[in-house]
Structure 1
């Protein structure tokens, strides 16, 4: 009986400590978000960074690989949130993929060839005094020493172009191989992706228009060895109802199809950012 009471007491204490720890992490993340630039905070209503990162179980002290960090919208959050014991690994497209877009000139390509050193150097200032470290690589060329170092991987709006050009060089396959290799056993993959309705044509939903189907993403992740854990409606937007003549970049923040049409622009701004699936996967132990 004494043993049973002790076990119950210990279990209760552990649960209480976990709750306290979770609340502290949530408060820390909220503080980091409150310190973000005003133009970044303007996107919170569409991107829900607090709820998204908590759903993906991102915690201070982790090593997190972020695919396609771009201008650093999420990197600016991750570096101070993960803290001095954490680390961010940025991952970008292979340089072989960029010419396939058709709009990057030779000068830009030459400048971007040094991204793996340029990005960490420029992003370091976002970390603050006690922020995480940062390194980077390009898909298909992950350094051996990075294998099984990440606790989590974030694929936020990162899969559509990889899928679009898969037939031109196996770029999605190379990226997902790197994602699997960089993760520790038991590590999490968080996917946020523009979602095509199930009734849309498969060729339209192949990535070129920005959208992918949920079933395609789940099947592809399973193909590369990940277990599907669950989904969330955090980033769902039912106002986004594209036709097969639409592209995702018609919506904010790009608004690429309405720059000369104020009336259409207002309609698209009212839709908001795209409807996005939010999926969680795990690398088996």
Structure 2
């Protein structure tokens, strides 16, 4: 478990500038609903959500009990378990804003793209569905088989940092989210065979994006430059990133009871990775070289 004070300081630095804009936005969007500020600050609410994702505790109620027992001195007035969950879910938009600020919108020349399923229930319960998330979840198929839930689409740079992320229904094809992920960027993007599409490749070429993938078995084999061949082989590093999100930062869970709770959990996991993962899966980049 990471130091809560360290996480809080980083989060609080962001919300010192962003919080006035955030409350103004909420007032404009909810003119008929009165918005009350909680006893906890917005920074504390978001920091607790991220702190939970860095812990080894998979049950939020148990985490809350440990927080009351060992870290209660850090808070003036910690609300009850039910109210804390309500606050985190209510401010999932603030967690998303922090994630957007943490995303590395740099001028990296090389990026890697991939997606992963986020099942919201076990496969044997697929026929019954998940009523709390029926509006955003759907049946999809990945390399591991069928699932019911959503998909997380990620874009990673050579430092192992998340450049951009997006959520979609489970049945949405990976290549339909590529343009949203690379919007405003100019780089060479490496992906698996799920991103093969000549019309998409030509469209991205006009935007300054070069999409590189291995050909399918029934396609004509083209000789790639040595650098592209090398960078394609490093695509497994983004799978390492996804593995860290799932195993270390509790990205996938079937305990969500609302859409807001599901989104808050996903955004908190991504923020926890960006803030707390020290040894990110970096990729050594080489310059473009032709075959001898």
Tell me the TM-score normalized by structure 2: 0.25
Between Structure 1 and Structure 2, the one with more strand by share is 1
Tell me the TM-score normalized by structure 1: 0.26
More contact order relative to length (CA 8 Å, sep ≥ 6): 2
